[in-house]
Structure 1
């Protein structure tokens, strides 16, 4: 594992089947945004892209599938090997 300047190890996670490097322990929304992945899901009602909004677990806009369960990305710390699937993003 490589070390980042803040001392946290860099780990690999899977996002929509592709590998992504992130810092262990950072919130998943941070890791995704750093990699340019701002679209987290699509609205089931009108297909509009949705992303992180409140960053404190209130709005549910960042809900993703993490290791098979729906989780809020703003409250989910990154850990090595986690599998993330964005919901309906094209």
Structure 2
């Protein structure tokens, strides 16, 4: 999945150059750009699901994208229940898939 980007020379906001970052997702390095949320990095890498529900193991990823629904929960640097759509990715973050509530780890 790729996003549409306005060429820098035509962008009225005059963005600065991209600053790449790398997060480790389930042991695999994934690259993104500074300022992206964890969900944005994951979606940019082609990942559409990164959590499962407790009853039945149904796959979940981004649903609302604004932090209301809790479908995008992940573990970040050992902290569970982080909403990937709200948390800005930091270079070196360790992100782990998360199962449903109460799942033993």
Normalised by the size of structure 2, how large is the TM-score? 0.75
Give the match for residue 69 of structure 2: 59
TM (normalized to structure 1)?
Answer: 0.87
For structure 2, the 5+ residue unaligned runs are: 1-7, 9-14, 100-105
Q: 1:35 aligned to 2:45?
A: yes
Q: Return the match for 1:47 from 57, 81, 90.
A: 57
| 1:11 is aligned to 2:21 | yes
- List runs of 5+ in structure 1 lacking aligned partners: none
Task: Provide the aligned length of Structure 1 versus Structure 2.
Answer: 84
Which structure's CA Rg is the greater one?
Answer: 2
Among 5, 8, 22, which residue is 2:32 paired with?
A: 22
Q: Which has the higher contact order (CA 8 A, sep 6+)?
A: 1
Moved over 2 A (4+): none
RMSD of the TM alignment (CA)?
1.3
